[in-house]
């Protein structure tokens, strides 16, 4: 029986979710704020945490970082209002597994919980040092079929696919760069699939979710007794991936100390477990991914220059979904099929007006946001066709022109735009100035009173 922790200051949501999840066979704990949730984590073994993004004492990102220190193997699903999707998607950099948007639909939430628990169990098996045979049965890369790999029809997507096929047969290290949710792991899996290593493991490691003090053990392994809690010998992810490919997501989050260790592995093709007296030879291809500018991080002294050049033998740049609109419906149709399978439904298509709304939306969360919107729409659809009343209101309010308008950074002027586009411009301005309302008003070229009126109008938390 999986153990779930709900962290939300809305008592009604906690009570309703608790009853629903208990009815579906889960053990449930409840906390009304981040600190109480962390205390529960100190006293209980929790498999999955449902955490509201806006808590009385912490933001979702702050509590997520604390969760990953206290209970790094627990999966975390962020609960958010749709207007916060852009911000919530950033939590994936720090180890969030998924997000769901309010209002919550029980069937959608149940599917998300089941899928997240399954993926997390696979990840824990991999990181526990399962054998190659075990990984071939349990790891996600072996479950992928040809239908899981689709290629967009935009020029950008075709170029990326050409690069994948070009670089895959080699053993060169690759950096995949792009915004959160653009499909960096999909690209890494594709490179592995086309490579001569495709019969061996593909191991994905989220560097953003690795607590600094545990990263060395997770990546390189440890010997029994080498530190408190090391009750058994444990092979690290590099050993588990031997002969195959290791994917280091959010490589920029790796601590400087572990960057040094990684550089040694690349140079010498050997790893040493924590507490070991001898090296172990490995043969692993490294694919790294980031949404940061690593060149800038190198100049700022946050990322080692020698490691950057070792990893950057070949670079693949992924464009955000809003810049490759020809791909939107290709992926929407793919996600429709996947949603039908997971929700046991048979929705056939999108209506013409829904197609236009999807193609015109900004997609801050890229493919990850698109798949969630499609899944929710399938859930709400009772007929064969997805209609516009199943889409979030934020998508319905945005036109093609509005979706591309935000804060003009050069002039600092709030564009004359309506609805959610103006709301989004205000949110972007607030984020740029760390929610300093005086500075936000200056950036938008409006007075504080007008800003407060608009915050109230658009229900933006003050």
Please tell me the CATH code under which domain 3-121 is placed: 3.40.50.2300
CATH 1.10.8.60 domain position(s) in the chain: 321-400
Is CATH 1.10.8.60 correct for 321-400? yes
State the average pLDDT over residues 81-105: 82
d(CA 64, CA 79): 12
User: H helices of 361-436, where?
Assistant: 366-380, 393-396, 400-403, 419-432
Q: Looking at residue 127, what is its pLDDT? A: 54
d(CA 209, CA 64): 9
Query: pLDDT tens, 266-284?
Result: 999 999 999 998 999 999 9
Query: pLDDT tens, 140-193?
Result: 344 444 446 688 999 999 999 999 999 999 999 999 999 989 999 999 999 999
d(CA 96, CA 90): 9
CATH 3.40.50.2300 domain position(s) in the chain: 3-121
- pTM for this one? 0.74
Chain mean pLDDT for the chain: 85
Residue 426 has pLDDT above 60, yes or no: yes
d(CA 306, CA 309): 5
Please tell me the CATH code under which domain 405-457 is placed: 1.10.10
Q: Looking at residue 227, what is its pLDDT? A: 85
Confidence of residue 132 (pLDDT cuts 50, 70, 90): very low
The phi and psi torsions of 39 (rounded to 5 degrees) equal: -65, -40
Q: Looking at residue 126, what is its pLDDT? A: 58
d(CA 427, CA 348): 36
For Cα atoms 107, 121, 368, give the angle at the middle one, nearest 5 degrees.
55
Confidence of residue 124 (pLDDT cuts 50, 70, 90): low
Q: Looking at residue 149, what is its pLDDT? A: 67
Residue 411 has pLDDT above 50, yes or no: no
Cβ-proximal residues to 158 (8 Å cutoff; 6+ apart), any chain: 151, 152
Q: Looking at residue 168, what is its pLDDT? A: 96
Task: Kindly report which listed range (20-24, 81-85, 115-119, 368-372) carries the lowest average pLDDT score.
Answer: 81-85
d(CA 387, CA 368): 21
Q: Looking at residue 409, what is its pLDDT? A: 39
CA atoms within 13 A on the CB side of 301: 0
Q: Looking at residue 290, what is its pLDDT? A: 94
Q: Identify the three-state secondary structure at position 174.
A: strand
Query: pLDDT tens, 385-401?
Result: 999 999 988 888 764 44
Q: DSSP class of residue 151?
A: -
The CATH number of 138-317, from 3.40.50.2000, 3.40.50.300, 2.60.40.10, 3.20.20.330, is: 3.40.50.300
Residue 204: burial class (beta carbons within 10 Å; 0-12, 13-18, 19+)? buried
State the average pLDDT over residues 57-66: 88
d(CA 201, CA 144): 12
Residue 461 has pLDDT above 90, yes or no: no
Counting residues of the chain whose pLDDT is more than 90, the rounded percentage is: 55
DSSP string, 212-236: HHHHHHHHHEE-TTSSTT--S-EE-
Cβ-proximal residues to 289 (8 Å cutoff; 6+ apart), any chain: 175, 176, 177, 178, 184, 185, 187, 188, 247, 248, 249, 250, 251
Residue 94 has pLDDT above 60, yes or no: yes
User: Which tokens is 166 given?
Assistant: 């070009």
Q: Looking at residue 128, what is its pLDDT? A: 54
DSSP string, 8-34: -S-HHHHHHHHHHHHHTT-EEEEESSH
């Amino acid at each position: 029986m999986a153990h779930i922790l709900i962290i939300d200051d809305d008592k009604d949501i906690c009570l309703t979710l608790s009853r629903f999840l208990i009815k579906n066979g889960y053990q449930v704990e409840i906390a009304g704020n981040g600190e109480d949730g962390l205390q529960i984590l100190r006293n209980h073994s929790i498999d999955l945490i449902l955490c509201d993004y806006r808590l009385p004492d912490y933001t979702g990102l702050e509590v997520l970082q604390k969760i990953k220190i206290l209970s790094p193997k627990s999966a975390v699903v962020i609960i958010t209002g749709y207007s916060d999707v852009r911000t919530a998607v950033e939590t994936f950099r720090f180890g969030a597994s998924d997000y769901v948007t309010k209002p919550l639909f029980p069937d959608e939430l149940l599917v998300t919980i089941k899928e997240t628990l399954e993926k997390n169990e696979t990840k824990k098996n991999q990181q526990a040092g399962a054998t190659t045979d075990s990984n071939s049965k349990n790891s996600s890369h072996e479950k992928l079929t040809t239908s899981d790999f689709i290629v967009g029809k935009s020029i950008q997507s075709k170029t990326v696919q050409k690069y994948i096929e070009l670089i895959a047969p080699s053993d060169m290290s690759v950096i995949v760069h792009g915004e959160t949710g653009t499909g960096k792991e999909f690209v890494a899996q594709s490179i592995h699939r086309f490579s001569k290593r495709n019969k061996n493991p593909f191991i994905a490691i989220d560097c953003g979710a690795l607590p600094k003090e545990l990263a060395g053990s997770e990546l390189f392994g440890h010997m029994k007794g080498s530190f408190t809690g090391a009750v058994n010998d444990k092979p690290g992810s590099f050993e588990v991936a031997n002969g195959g490919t290791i994917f280091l997501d959010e490589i920029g989050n790796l601590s400087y100390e572990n960057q040094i260790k990684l550089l040694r592995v690349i140079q010498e093709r050997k790893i040493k477990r924590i507490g070991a007296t001898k090296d172990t030879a490995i043969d692993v291809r490294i694919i790294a991914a980031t949404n940061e500018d690593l060149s800038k991080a190198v100049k700022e002294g946050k990322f080692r220059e020698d490691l950057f050049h070792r990893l950057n033998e070949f670079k693949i740049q992924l464009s955000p979904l809003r810049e490759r609109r020809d791909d939107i419906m290709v992926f929407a149709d793919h996600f429709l099929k996947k949603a039908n399978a997971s929700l046991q439904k048979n929705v056939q298509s999108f209506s013409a007006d829904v197609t236009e709304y999807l193609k015109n939306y900004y997609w801050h969360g890229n493919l990850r946001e698109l798949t969630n919107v499609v899944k929710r729409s399938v859930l709400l659809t009772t007929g064969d066709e997805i209609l516009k009343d199943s889409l979030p209101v934020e998508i319905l309010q945005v036109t093609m022109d509005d979706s591309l308008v935000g804060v003009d950074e050069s002039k600092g002027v709030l564009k004359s735009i309506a609805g959610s586009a103006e709301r989004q411009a205000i949110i972007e301005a607030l984020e740029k100035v760390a929610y300093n309302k005086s500075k936000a008003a200056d950036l938008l070229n409006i007075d504080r009173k007008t800003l407060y009126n608009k915050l109230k109008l658009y229900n933006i938390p003050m």
